[in-house]
Chain A
């Protein structure tokens, strides 16, 4: 049976995997307010980081739930 990865490793993996994926997704015109360039990239990276914390939180909830 394989070992469950540590929450910290899961988080780091998520962030590292998400950033390059974001930069290669296809372009699409959207909305009319200018999303900016740096601010948009920053948001994407921040979202990737938050996505990692989402899984981390789920993982912790699962562990916490089992122990309970």
Chain B
């Protein structure tokens, strides 16, 4: 194993009630890097945080921290004192904001004056300095989570574990805190494990992204790669590629695969060999709708179908088109109104050959 990693796990296995909760072949956290772990509920994300936070012993596997093998080590407290952890809930101790920000340093025996100075610095940075003497039960959810983050950052941890720290916050607070945290993490020399199920959070913060499904890392790589080229249908569905359509490559020329999906043939920029059974993946935001097929366009794919359903999707509308297979498109509300998109209306769905992605089945 490489010596310059801060934390490494190999063949980590955790069982729970007779089932495998975590089965990770390899995970590595390097200095100054943020590894984001995404996954659906119950996929083992929190178990992974607990294992890497040395709060739960894996049933099998080896762990290496700060250059030493700690698999059989029994006193893990000194190692935990080199880490910082923020959970989904702020989990504050009763008392004031300052008392909480100081709590970790008091536990670790940091000199009182030094602790006070660092606490003031971080409270100012996270804009909770005016709340220093306020009792934590009077804080808003955002202020409480800022306190929890300050308590972790002030420890200057070599390994920072963030377990969905923003998921319980309202959207404006989450976005603001996410930006601030991303900026702090960019300056951090230590390693960070960031757990989320939010794509925006993952893209904002990560250097590397791992998708955890059923306790296993299904894919790991740069975020653009995982989002752009998911390795299988489960990853594709999880990272938000709603259109995962069974298909087969029928011909190929000049790096473009011709793929049959239902009664339609579409073109995809991919060098998958002819005859390969694939999943055709298209992001809903890459699908455009028109009342008729356009001419003089570079868009290679145009599929006719009838609208099956139109439902709100945040600021947009989610339009489901029956093309022989269901195809989802996200369309602005304005376009939905102007085109008169409603169930039963015949439309042509189009997408570029480079917007689609093939996964071997």
Physical interaction between A and B: no
* A residues at B contact (CB < 8 Å): none
